[in-house]
Structure 1
Amino acid sequence: MKLGAQKEKWEESMWMSWLLVFVPIAVALEFFASHQYLLIFVASSLAILPLAGWMGHATEQLADRMGEGVGGLLNATFGNAAELIIAFVALHAGLHQVVEASIIGSVVGNMLLVLGAAMLAGGIRYPEQRFNPLGARSQATMLMLAAVALILPAAFQEAEGATAAMVHRLSVSFCVVLLLIYALYLMFSLVTHPGQFRSSATTENDAPAQHEGNAPQPLWRSLTILAAATAGTAWISEIMVGSIEPMVHQFGFSGVFVGAFVVAILGNAAEHATAITAALNNRLDLSFSISLGSSVQVALFVAPVLILASHFVGQAPMDLAFRPDLVLIVVMSGLVTAQVAGDGRSDWFKGVQLLVVYFAMALTFFFLPA
């Protein structure tokens, strides 16, 4: 990559930095005009955009040093921090339906919305993009495993003689298994078989290609920017989500729609921006690692942690027996994503297909009775 191209890439991710002025505006509105829900929502939404841009730039710098798989994992982890904070606040308030819907919405949104938007954006700039199908298929398989872990407790709950205590015990057991599987998945992808998750654009010695004039910034600077942007995103996301519910309830939306398709989208704003930026820079492996990796992390790590934490935080414990309609959309999303991820190539029309499935689901839940 030439020096001019590197400068252009920096400018692409940093051009919205002037919107950081909306960070203090959103905080001031939250403290001094807490009933102005629409203004708080608009200000906090604009404030999140530059924070997501900084997070995306720092993640790409880390990916240059550590590879696409590790870079995507880091972004998924930092990107899910906001969701985890918001979910703990909702747990403490006993809002189990919001937590449940936001978990499912995050899994489905990353699979369909984030990946679809990235494939569409990259496909508009490049006629065809290539990615590593081995890593994508492995992540899609993990998502189907998560779907099975959701189906079984929901089916068990409907069995004759099943009690709430039995469902809770089964859920706790499943949570422990899911956390163990996630730990083994990290070992597989980062330690024993990292080659399966390596970018398809590699050099002959299988190391990530280093481009002329593309000297990554110091590691400490990338980590500092990523940590600061994550903390800011988590804070502003909490302000923004707090304004969404009273605002949208004025229009009679259902709580499931708000949790699964409003809270989840805004909570994943950082991943959306980073995955799309990576695809525009022809780094579709990083887009896959961010979108599918985030879905895997939410399904196999964030959800079990929240279920276990609910036994100590809040008014009553949660379980994995989620609503059947929410479980259904996870299964459908996993099947569609597995089909798209199978051949190692991408174009803009594949992105459109994923987005159509996502918006069809969103419309269905939008018209659910409140």
Structure 2
Amino acid sequence: MKKWLSPALLIVTFALSAIAHYTHWNAVAQFLICAISVVFVAGFLGRATESVAHYAGQRLGGFLNATFGNAAELIIAIFLVKEGLYDMVKASLTGSIIGNLLLVLGASLFAGGLKYKVQNFNISLAGLSGSLMIVAVIALFVPAVFLNTHVITDSESDTLSLIVAGTLIVAYIAWLIFSMITHKDYLADVTEQKDQELPHEHAPIWSRNKSIAYLVLATVMVAFVSEWLVGTLEVFTVQFGLSELFVGAFLVAIIGNAAEHSAAILLAMKNKIGASVEIAVGSSLQIALFVAPVLIFVSYFMGNTMNIVFTTIELVAIAVAVFIAKSITQDGSTNWYEGLMLLVVYVLLGVSFFLV
């Protein structure tokens, strides 16, 4: 794990993607090289964040994991907004939510369940996170219903989208205060207490200053590689006859969330399923309650507001993912078969999106 996330390999993959971009290689070759580079950079970003989290503490560390884990996704989406590819932006947001709830969580439960028969985590955290995801689904459904039934106009839809986006950001900030300050102990996981008792069991591989430096370096690299990747998407999509919906919801989402994928699975295999659930569900919450609303405001300040109206297919996919994830995690215990069920639903949605 340490070898493929080494700074030297990170620089090599980044340099190769830069050469491919500035020397104008074939668009498909550029896409593949940039995609590989994003995976490496995102993985390194996740490792640096994990190291910083060790010095910052469990709760703040969890927030940093979610925030920097979604950095690649947010930066890619901002460049997509700049290019006016709103449909692909919404598809990538959809893909991130269902990818975290079905692929990341499912793979974590499956991998952890193969090693440990039953794994337990904080049932209160699971219940509250699931309820908050339902709130996010409602917030996405309301503008779509009002616009599609012609109760409001397109301009009124933009205004409603900005109001909904602002409300969701406030709800997310309130959730951070609730989970990290006022009810920190109430939502603490058993493994957190064990880690506090054994502070040197999982020592970080870098010093605090080096961890922060690598975190900043990886974030800057993500910004550059993301811009190069976005520049190849249209050609790649047309050449292979893929829909923007599939590319955004699955390819971009999987590439952009590489850090969460690896971190959550590795934690589950260390019997830290609570941390895995928090990464997967917490990342989905951040996408729905913070990243998506921020992109609405970014588009507004760029002069052309992207509404928060998702397609029926996207809304159904998000609702299905939230429903099955909440059903499986609500009892506070998991096993490998529950992980398999989540993966089955993800495959079904993937095939359906591919055929659109």
Q: TM-score, normalised by structure 2?
A: 0.91
Displacement of 1:361 in angstroms is 0.7
**CA-to-partner distance for each residue in 1:153-204, whole Å, 9 max, x for gaps?**
1111133442112222221211111111111011001110012332222448
Q: Out of 10, 17, 42, which is 1:26 matched to?
A: 17
| Match of residue 161, structure 2, among 162, 168, 171 | 171
Q: Which residue matches 1:313?
A: 302
- Residue 347 of structure 2 is matched in structure 1 by 359
Partner residue in 1 for 2:186:
196
CA contact (8 A) 1:64 1:208 kept: no
Q: How far apart, CA to CA, are the structure 2 residues paired with 1:242 and 1:119?
A: 36
Query: Which stretches of structure 1, 4 residues or longer, exceed 6 Å deviation after superposition?
Result: none
Map 1:1-150 to 2 at 5 A.
12-17=1-6, 19-20=9-10, 21-34=12-25, 36-150=26-140
Alignment counterpart, residue 222 of structure 1, candidates 208, 211, 225: 211
Paired residue for 1:349?
337
Which amino acid in the other structure matches residue 74 of structure 2? L
In 2, Cα distance between equivalents of 1:167 and 1:181: 21
1:155 maps to 2:145: yes
- CA–CA distance in 2 between the matches of 1:237 and 1:280? 30
Counterpart residue identity of residue 351, structure 2: L
How many residues are paired up?
353
Within 1, Cα distance between the matches of 2:112 and 2:45? 19
Of 65-74 and 247-256, the range deviating more from structure 2: 65-74
Kept in 1, the 8 Å contact 2:109–2:338? The answer is yes
Q: What amino acid sits opposite 1:356 in the alignment?
A: V
Shift of 1:33: 2.9
Distance 1:159 1:33 in 2: 46
RMSD: 2.2
Q: Tell me which amino acid in the other structure corresponds to 1:181.
A: A
- Aligned-partner residue type, residue 23 of structure 1: F
Q: 2:285 aligns with which of 285, 291, 296?
A: 296
Of 302, 305, 316 in structure 2, the residue corresponding to residue 328 of structure 1 is 316
How far did residue 222 of structure 1 move? 2.5
Give the conservation status (yes or no) of the 8 Å contact 2:38–2:256. no
Gaps of 5+ in 1: 1-11
Greater Cα offset, 223-232 or 211-220: 211-220
Matched residue, 1:261: 250
Aligned-partner Cα distance in 2 for 1:327–1:33:
38
Query: Contact between 2:5 and 2:44, CA under 8 Å: does it hold in 1?
Result: no
> Structure 1 CA distance, aligned partners of 2:201 and 2:154?
61
Question: Kindly, what percent of the aligned residue pairs are identical?
Answer: 38
Q: Does 1:285 align with 2:274?
A: yes
Report the Cα offset of residue 303 of structure 1: 0.9
| Cα distance change of structure 1 residues 307 and 53 upon mapping to structure 2, 3 Å threshold | closer
| TM-score of the pair, normalised by structure 1 | 0.87
**Is the alpha carbon distance of 1:236 and 1:213 closer, same or farther for their aligned partners in structure 2, counting shifts above 3 Å?**
same
SS at match of 2:271: coil
CA contact (8 A) 1:310 1:317 kept: yes
Bigger drift between 19-28 and 292-301 goes to 19-28
The residue identity in structure 1 corresponding to 2:18 is V
State the 1:297 CA deviation: 0.8
Which residue of 2 is the match for residue 340 of structure 1? 328
**Kept in 1: contact 2:42–2:69 (CA 8 A):** no
Name the counterpart of 2:259.
Answer: 270
